[in-house]
Structure 1
Amino acid sequence: MPFRFSTEPQSDRIVLRLFGDCDLSSLQDLQQAILSALAESPAVQIDLSAVGFLDSSGIHAMVLGYRHAEQHGRALYVTGAGGMVSHVLKMTGVADLLAPPSPGNGHER
């Protein structure tokens, strides 16, 4: 399924909804979408609920986005990962890194 995304500004964050496959062919579009969202909002939630395939390129883009967010005092996290996408995030060790903020830690979303 071809990659595409949409953005939904909310009061405290931008929700970046991804659709399709996040792989090498979508790397530049994904990186640009993440950086643009981080430039507009102090927090970016990446919704992966409509992503059917995620490879190391997609993970790379999200980890780079996470690092960029940290360096600029912003937050980036993923939600909605299921099936193979969730498995890949856990298997690569980035599920915890990109986990949503926990209630009570001062970063409720």
Structure 2
Amino acid sequence: MARFEAATSVEGQRADVALSGECDLAAREHCTEALMTAVGSARTVVVDLAELRFIDSSGVHALVTAHRAAVERGGRLNVVNAYGMVAHVLDITGVGGLLSPRDGARDG
């Protein structure tokens, strides 16, 4: 697996972004670009973190930046499938609760 990858698919008003590998300072621009492109192309963005092994403050910043952009456009960005250390980082920063899907959010 590459150090960091972002794969995006868009269907209607929903974009799915799957992040994998390690999301750190070296991947910040790539991650931010992928998330912002998804936010610009769909009202609902679902970010799947199942294959993400590591995230630092740079990755958290990218998620929060994209979330704010989605909200400003009347949309939303949610994260799903955060496990282990990634879930822990999101929880201790408060971002896990901010980006958790609410009722129906996964249906886009």
Q: Which runs of 5+ in 2 are unaligned?
A: none
Aligned to 2:33: 32
Q: Which runs of 5+ in 1 are unaligned?
A: none
Question: What displacement does 1:91 show?
Answer: 0.8
Structure with the bigger percentage of helix: 2
How much is the aligned-residue C-alpha RMSD, in angstroms?
1.3
Conserved 8 A contact 2:78-2:101: yes
Deviation string 1:60-87 (CA, Å, 9 cap, x unpaired) is 0000111111111111010010011001
Question: What displacement does 1:8 show?
Answer: 1.9
Question: What displacement does 1:5 show?
Answer: 1.1
Deviation string 1:7-46 (CA, Å, 9 cap, x unpaired) is 1223441110001001000000111101111111111000
Moved over 4 A (4+): none
Q: Identity, % of aligned pairs?
A: 37
TM-score under structure 1 length normalisation: 0.91
Aligned to 2:96: 95
Amino acid across the alignment from 2:42: S
Conserved 8 A contact 2:13-2:41: no
Partners of 1:46 and 1:81 in 2: CA distance: 10
